[in-house]
Structure 1
Amino acid sequence: MNFFSKWKSRLVFVALFATAVSAHAEDELAKVKKTGELVIGTEMQFAPFDFVENGEQRGFNKDFFAEVGKELGVKVRSIDLPWASVLPGLEAGKFDIVSGPVTISKARMERYEFTLPIADATDALLKRANDASIKQSSDVAGKIVGGGKGSAQLDQLKKYVASLPGKTEVREYVDNNQAYADLAAGRIAAVGNSLPNIAYVARQRPDIFAVVQPPFGTRVYFAYLGRKDADSKSLIDAIDQVIVKMHDDGRLSELQKKWFGVTMDTPKTMPTAIY
């Protein structure tokens, strides 16, 4: 083979390689559009984001991803799992994205690809409405509190109570409804969760529950996540474009108002994780 033949062969190889890399980077989004379906992993025990009412999925996530489906031109299907199984299911390729949603953290950013934030995730405490012994968050010192197993909210709750005097027991629950049931029954003194979640629970049952003000957590955000690879990034980028569009045309704030009772100042760029 002469010099020009070798040079031509190398150019062909480089072109084919570049085409393969480009196609690979678009695989996840292309797959979703080819099948016409976006498959989501979630836990439907996380109101007001995801819950079941009269046998039907309801919540912020369903409404949000309905908008994503319209923008991408695909149907949306959600798979309901215990939260402890959701992230492993994503890594095993059982679905395209997780709609938990999930708190943006440094550790998770190293392992997963996050979308832009869609809600405030600051942690707070839910107590029984008639419990006068808890007037502020620090009043749970020495009591028993609970949180969702495997959640970032549980991690923050553990760190917070460790800073309080005495020994405060933290119980872990497979789903939040179990924690709220134990709280209502007096088996625990408070439940730690994101402010949107517990505010929703308190609004639904104001005779039973109340939010402890102010929140004990530092300000963090909720977002959705996918696998951290070139395949998934194309899908996350496409969803980010939808989020920015929903910011600009008011659809995001409308959904926040509908499900959280308030609109939230969430950024249109990725925030820096603080823990």
Structure 2
Amino acid sequence: MRARLILALAATLSLGMAAAKADVLSDAKKAGELKIGTETEFAPFDYIDAGDHTGLNVDLFSEVGKELGLKITWVALPWDGVLPGLEASKFDMVAGPAIITKARLERYVFSTPIAEATVALLKKKGDNSVQKPEDIAGKTVGGGRASSQLAQLKTFAATLSPAPTVREYGGSNEAMADLAAGRVVGISQSLPNAAFAAKRRPDTFEVVMPPFGTKVYFGYILRKDANSASLVEAINGAIMKMKGDGRMAALQKKWFGLEFETPAAITDPAL
């Protein structure tokens, strides 16, 4: 009996030690770094410019790293591999960001929103055949594979007659190359991304107004488990501090050309 009790106690202590070790924030602090998965073809959040990783996320997480006393280590991969990588614990969280939806909230935890994410169409500059979103009827359009922007485009496309052909792309660089070449007449992007693309290449792209999507918000993604709870709290605390002291607004203005009012949390998304 005593031997069984000792073994049970040892097992309990072992499980407790494993749980403590699995705390994501504690482990990150021990290592001195926070590993963040992202796609580097999602300007202006994450992209490569002259060989360097840049964008709003780089600036924002530089501030978060200072707040938490952690070095930020980026893990870049295609978007359709980012969420599986998070679930496999290849990194601590996902920058993205991603649109906060009901389906995603069932599976993940989101940070406090960092920007509006309403979906719009980006078109080739001077293409007068697309003056409003409904003008894509019967034409070929595209969007990023496994993205909410693509899902909303497909839903919108299904309301049009004749229905447009919808292509799926592994990254926004490929999609914009096809758009610039005239192989598609429009690609679905969240308004901040579309506005940045048009601002950066005004002779090539322009935004189709108004946006066709439902009003939604961007947030960062973390695993929905007890081991990530302290990291969620720390990330939200750092971002809310940035919202309060003006650093977030300054980053939005720098990268989007405009500022967004965002709620503290999204518990019942419109999508």
Same-fold call, TM cutoff 0.5: yes
Q: Which amino acid aligns with 1:237?
A: E
Q: Within 1, Cα distance between the matches of 2:20 and 2:111?
A: 20
Q: Within 1, Cα distance between the matches of 2:21 and 2:238?
A: 19
TM-score, normalised with respect to structure 1: 0.91
Q: Per-residue CA shift, 1:114-149, capped at 9, x if unaligned?
A: 111001110000011111111111111110000000
SS in 2 for 1:198: helix
Instruction: Summarize the alignment of residues 138-149 of structure 1 with structure 2, pairs less than 5 Å apart.
Output: 138-149=134-145
Q: Within 1, Cα distance between the matches of 2:184 and 2:267?
A: 34
Work out whether 1:54 is the aligned partner of 2:50.
yes
> CA RMSD, aligned part only?
1.9
Q: Pick one of 172, 192, 197 that aligns with 2:188.
A: 192
Structure 1 portions without partners, runs of 5+: 1-8
SS in 2 for 1:108: helix
SS in 2 for 1:156: helix
Q: Within 1, Cα distance between the matches of 2:191 and 2:219?
A: 15
How big is the shift at 1:252? 0.5
Identity fraction in percent = 53
Work out whether 1:96 is the aligned partner of 2:92.
yes
Instruction: Summarize the alignment of residues 40-51 of structure 1 with structure 2, pairs less than 5 Å apart.
Output: 40-51=36-47
- Contact 1:116 1:270 survives alignment (8 Å): yes
Work out whether 1:39 is the aligned partner of 2:35.
yes
Q: Which amino acid aligns with 1:130?
A: G
Match in the other structure for 2:102: 106
Q: Pick one of 148, 153, 159 that aligns with 2:155.
A: 159
- Contact 1:25 1:234 survives alignment (8 Å): no
Q: Pick one of 203, 211, 215 that aligns with 1:215.
A: 211
Match in the other structure for 2:62: 66
Q: Per-residue CA shift, 1:11-68, capped at 9, x if unaligned?
A: xx8xx88x949x6498111111111000000000000000011111100000010011
Q: Pick one of 240, 245, 255 that aligns with 1:259.
A: 255
SS in 1 for 2:259: coil
Q: Which amino acid aligns with 2:81?
A: S
Instruction: Summarize the alignment of residues 70-85 of structure 1 with structure 2, pairs less than 5 Å apart.
Output: 70-85=66-81
Q: Within 1, Cα distance between the matches of 2:200 and 2:132?
A: 22
Q: Within 2, Cα distance between the matches of 1:233 and 1:102?
A: 19
If you compute each CA radius of gyration, which structure gives the higher value, 1 or 2? 1
- Contact 1:25 1:230 survives alignment (8 Å): no
Q: Which amino acid aligns with 1:152?
A: S
Aligned length: 262
Q: Within 2, Cα distance between the matches of 1:70 and 1:259?
A: 20
Q: Per-residue CA shift, 1:59-99, capped at 9, x if unaligned?
A: 00000100110000010011110111100000111000000
Shift of the 269–26 alpha-carbon distance from structure 1 to 2, 3 Å rule, reads farther
SS in 1 for 2:143: strand
- Contact 1:128 1:183 survives alignment (8 Å): yes
How big is the shift at 1:271? 4.4
Match in the other structure for 1:127: 123
- Contact 2:21 2:27 survives alignment (8 Å): no
- Contact 1:52 1:58 survives alignment (8 Å): yes
Q: Within 2, Cα distance between the matches of 1:161 and 1:48?
A: 26
